[in-house]
Amino acid sequence: MSLKLFLIRHGQTLWNEEGRYQGNKDIDLTEEGVNQAKLTAEYLSDVNFSYIYSSPLRRAMDTANIINKINKQKDLKVIIRENLKEMNFGKWEGMKFEKLGKEYHDELQNWLRDPYNYCPEGGESFKQVKKRATEEIDNIIKESEDGSNVAVVTHGGIILSILVYWLQIPLPRWRSIVLNQGAINIAVIDRGFPYISTVNFTGHLSPSYDGREDRIIKTYSRFRSDDNEMKKI
């Protein structure tokens, strides 16, 4: 059995723009986010999707519905799956990155050192997220027909956990993959084995390279203690 999975991150929200942790908070797309969703839909307009799955959060559902409107299979219904929700950041949700780095420095460093086991108060660990995300993606694969194209519209943390699982990335390097809003990730699943052809593709969102992803890299780099990773290299 073989199928193609398109793992798509939702478009931009106001909290993305403001640099806040969103997690399970249900935040709408900005005008830019809607435009990103439209550009994603146009880029994928020649793909004949058999199924479109989405997180129940509005930013993902709205992105999925925009993609569905341009899909060649006009009668598809977006399938909602609870386990495609973003990682729950507990008390951190709604906080700006800079404030979190100052007021919860120790907790943040614990999370960056060991996200697999540590979780924000009231939130989830990366271990819990990876478990529900990979189980859900395995269910989606089992439900899909041979040769089908499947869109999964979800969140950065969910896509990241699936890529970490497929690629068997060491957990100290889990943040090494950057996933932008509106990014497309593509994998062919053949007899249970993932062939990943595209990671964090954003060429459809801008006519030329603009280095937009550098902002989030700089943010996480400022938060990470100098000795967190270098000792493990």
Catalytic residues: 10, 86
CA distance 36 to 181: 8
Across the strands, what pairs with 80? 54
Q: Residue 148 CB: number of other CB atoms within 10 A?
A: 17
Helix (H, G, I), strand (E, B) or coil at 50: strand
Other beta carbons within 10 angstroms of residue 233's beta carbon come to 6
Between helix 214-223 and helix 105-113 the angle, nearest 10°, is 110
Cα–Cα distance for residue pair 74/136, rounded to 1 Å = 25
Cα–Cα dist 75/72, whole Å? 9
Residue 57 buriedness (CB in 10 A; 0-12 / 13-18 / 19+): buried
Rounded (to 5) percent helix, strand, coil in the chain: 45, 20, 40
